[in-house]
């Protein structure tokens, strides 16, 4: 075999920054199914015991230095799985290191300045970036998006509804987690806590579906939050309007045994509904239904979920057989999420009598 042929068939090397629950319970199980195309070669975490234990599961090098991981020539794709406040700086450092592709866990930035800095570095270095909004890589959604393209696009109502048990329930089904951080205590009578819960809910959970919402509301500059409220023990009910489209975002993370994650887009002539498989569970793709007056088309389920879809796309990008998502689309998706988070936080905390520092219209 020539060295060029070997390069085309050898697994692509992966380095991981941050080896917490998402790495342990989501990414390693996904990568274990893709060992012929991807190989974890270096694991970095600020906690050396976590880095060592997680690296040992896959026979990778480990350490506590981002610079060492980025300088490792065996690392071709960098996955950023640290807490959100480190994402922007680490995405930028990985792009500057000239890697073949970067996966950044959602959200990849927390404000407009960070988004602009990422956009500039991405344009300058040309390093492809994927954001871990996994539903955008789910084959059920991708098939629905393609099929919807031939139907009338004027959707008047979009709904994203998420009912999940807390993350640790699924993490413990997937693996034995090391180094879990307990969630902070919340006082939802306090306006600041309500702001934080609504911002966290939009940027941490709704963000998986917001790129799908934006597919039906391209005029995203005109976003107005009509109502925003928190749900105990964690969740949100947010109503908004983007242009002429009414959007409902609901989430409840509670003791439920049955996860349910649905997305709906309804127009005068056609309606789309999608049932997603629960996060963490490797139970194949979403199933989508497109209904018109005369027919119902069922798309899926397909063999893999959005997490595996992300990794397949990354391997294809690194090998030059697939292209990356458009960087401008990722920035607009992020701006859409930031606008909703800011407006929901203001509306929700104002409703609790807290002083609202920002206008509710984003
Ligand atoms: N796509 C999904 O479905 C999904 C699910 C869960 C979490 N996430 C995202 O993944 C990210 C990580 O979440 P998590 O659940 O693993 O929990 P976490 O944030 O508690 O754990 C992150 C790990 O990163 C380490 N760390 C802290 N600072 C670091 C730094 N500067 N550089 C490298 N590592 C650092 C911590 O020691 C910890 O082991 C978050 O952005 C979260 O939003 C995504």
pLDDT tens-digit map of 268-313: 999 999 999 987 788 899 999 999 989 999 999 999 999 999 999 9
Q: If you search the block for the tokens 């970067």, which residue do you land on?
A: 102
Ligand 1 neighbourhood includes 2 CB (under 6 angstroms): no
Lowest mean pLDDT of 47-51, 111-115, 215-219, name the range: 215-219
Q: If one looks up domain 3-135 in CATH, what number appears?
A: 3.40.50.720
Domain(s) of CATH 3.40.50.720: residues in the chain = 3-135
**Is-contact 107 87, C-beta < 8 A?**
yes
Predicted pLDDT at 204: 93
Nearest to 242 by CA among 259, 262, 257, 221: 221
**Is-contact 139 309, C-beta < 8 A?**
yes
Predicted pLDDT at 358: 44
pLDDT category of residue 8 using cuts at 50, 70 and 90: low
Asked if pLDDT for residue 218 goes beyond 70, the answer is yes
Predicted pLDDT at 359: 38
Does 251 or 283 have the greater pLDDT score? 251
> For a substitution probing ligand 1, which of 16, 104, 105 has the most ligand atoms within 8 Å of its CB?
105
Average pLDDT over residues 101-129: 91
pTM of the model: 0.92
Asked if pLDDT for residue 122 goes beyond 90, the answer is no
**For residue 319, how far is the Cα from the chain centroid?**
23
In this structure, is the dihedral angle defined by the CA atoms of residues 352, 355, 356 and 357, taken in order, positive or negative?
negative
Asked if pLDDT for residue 188 goes beyond 80, the answer is no
Average pLDDT over residues 80-99: 96
HEC letters along the chain: CCHHHHHHHCCEEEEEECCCHHHHHHHHHHHHCCCCCEEEEEEECCCHHHHHHHHHHHCCEEECCHHHHHHCCCCCEEEECCCHHHHHHHHHHHHHCCCCEEEECCCCCCCHHHHHHHHHHHHHHCCCEEECCHHHHCHHHHHHHHHHCCCCCCEEEEEEEEEECCHHHHHHHHCCCCCCCCCCCCCCCCHHHHHHHHHHHHHHCHHHCHHHHHHCCCCCCCEEEEEEEECCCEEEEEEEEECCEEEEEEEEECCCCCCEEEEEEEECCEEEEEEECCCCCCCCCCEEEEEECCCEEEECCCCCCHHHHHHHHHHHHHHCCCCCCCHHHHHHHHHHHHHHHHHHHHHHHHHCCCCCCCCCEC
Domain(s) of CATH 3.30.360.10: residues in the chain = 136-304+326-351
Average pLDDT over residues 349-356: 62
Q: If one looks up domain 136-304+326-351 in CATH, what number appears?
A: 3.30.360.10
Average pLDDT over residues 193-202: 93
Average pLDDT over residues 16-26: 96
Ligand 1 centroid–CA 91 distance in Å is 14
In this structure, is the dihedral angle defined by the CA atoms of residues 12, 80, 300 and 220, taken in order, positive or negative?
negative
Ligand 1 neighbourhood includes 21 CB (under 6 angstroms): yes
Q: What is the rounded average pLDDT for all residues in the chain?
A: 90
Ligand 1 centroid–CA 86 distance in Å is 9
CA distance 233 to 107: 22
**Is-contact 203 303, C-beta < 8 A?**
no
Predicted pLDDT at 152: 67
- Ligand 1: atom nearest CA of 83 is 19
Predicted pLDDT at 42: 98
> For a substitution probing ligand 1, which of 78, 83, 106 has the most ligand atoms within 8 Å of its CB?
83
CA distance 107 to 216: 21
Asked if pLDDT for residue 9 goes beyond 80, the answer is no
Asked if pLDDT for residue 362 goes beyond 50, the answer is no
Ligand 1 centroid–CA 311 distance in Å is 18
Average pLDDT over residues 5-12: 74
Does 108 or 186 have the greater pLDDT score? 108
**Is-contact 102 78, C-beta < 8 A?**
yes
Ligand 1 centroid–CA 79 distance in Å is 11
Ligand 1 neighbourhood includes 47 CB (under 6 angstroms): yes
Ligand 1 centroid–CA 72 distance in Å is 22
> For a substitution probing ligand 1, which of 17, 18, 164 has the most ligand atoms within 8 Å of its CB?
18
Does 5 or 13 have the greater pLDDT score? 13
Asked if pLDDT for residue 6 goes beyond 70, the answer is no
Does 361 or 72 have the greater pLDDT score? 72
Ligand 1 centroid–CA 115 distance in Å is 19
Average pLDDT over residues 227-249: 94
Asked if pLDDT for residue 70 goes beyond 90, the answer is yes
Q: 273 has which bridge partners? A: 264, 289
Ligand 1 centroid–CA 209 distance in Å is 20
Q: If you search the block for the tokens 């606008």, which residue do you land on?
A: 339
Ligand 1 centroid–CA 244 distance in Å is 36
Protein residue closest via CA to atom 21 of ligand 1:
20
Predicted pLDDT at 355: 46
Q: 297 has which bridge partners? A: 290
Ligand 1 centroid–CA 18 distance in Å is 6
Average pLDDT over residues 176-187: 79
Nearest to 360 by CA among 188, 191, 226: 226
Predicted pLDDT at 154: 82
Ligand 1 neighbourhood includes 22 CB (under 6 angstroms): yes
């Amino acid at each position: 075999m020539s060295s060029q042929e070997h390069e085309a068939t050898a697994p692509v090397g992966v380095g991981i920054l941050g080896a917490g629950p998402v790495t342990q319970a989501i990414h390693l199980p996904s990568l274990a199914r893709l060992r012929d195309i991807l190989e974890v070669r270096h694991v970095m975490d600020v906690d050396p015991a976590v880095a060592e234990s997680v690296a040992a599961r896959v026979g990778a090098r480990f350490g506590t230095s981002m610079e060492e991981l980025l300088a490792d020539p065996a690392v071709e794709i960098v996955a950023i799985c640290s807490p959100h406040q480190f994402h922007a700086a680490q995405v930028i450092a990985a792009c500057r290191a000239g890697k073949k592709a970067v996966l950044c866990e959602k959200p990849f930035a927390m404000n407009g300045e960070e988004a602009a800095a990422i956009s500039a570095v991405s344009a300058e270095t040309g390093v492809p970036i994927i954001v871990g909004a996994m539903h955008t890589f789910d084959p059920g959604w991708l098939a629905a998006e393609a099929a919807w393209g031939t139907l009338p696009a004027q959707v008047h109502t979009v709904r994203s509804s998420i009912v999940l048990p807390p993350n640790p329930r699924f993490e413990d089904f997937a693996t034995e987690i090391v180094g879990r951080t307990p969630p902070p205590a919340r006082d939802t009578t306090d306006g600041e806590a309500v702001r934080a819960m609504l911002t966290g809910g939009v940027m941490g959970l709704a963000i998986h579906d917001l790129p799908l919402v934006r597919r039906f509301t391209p005029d995203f500059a005109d976003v107005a939050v009509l109502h925003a409220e928190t749900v105990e023990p964690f969740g949100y009910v947010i109503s908004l309007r983007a242009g002429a489209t009414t959007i409902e975002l609901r989430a409840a993370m509670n003791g439920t045994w049955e996860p349910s994650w649905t997305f709906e887009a309804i127009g005068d002539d056609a309606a789309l509904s999608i049932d997603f498989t629960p996060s963490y569970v490797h139970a194949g793709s979403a199933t989508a239904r497109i209904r018109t007056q005369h027919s119902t088309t069922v798309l899926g389920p397909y063999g893999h979920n959005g997490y595996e879809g992300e990794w397949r796309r990354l391997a294809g990008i690194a090998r030059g057989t697939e292209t990356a998502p458009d960087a401008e689309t990722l920035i607009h998706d992020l701006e859409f999420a930031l606008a909703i988070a800011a407006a929901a936080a203001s509306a929700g905390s104002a409703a609790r009598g807290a002083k609202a520092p920002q206008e509710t219209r984003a």
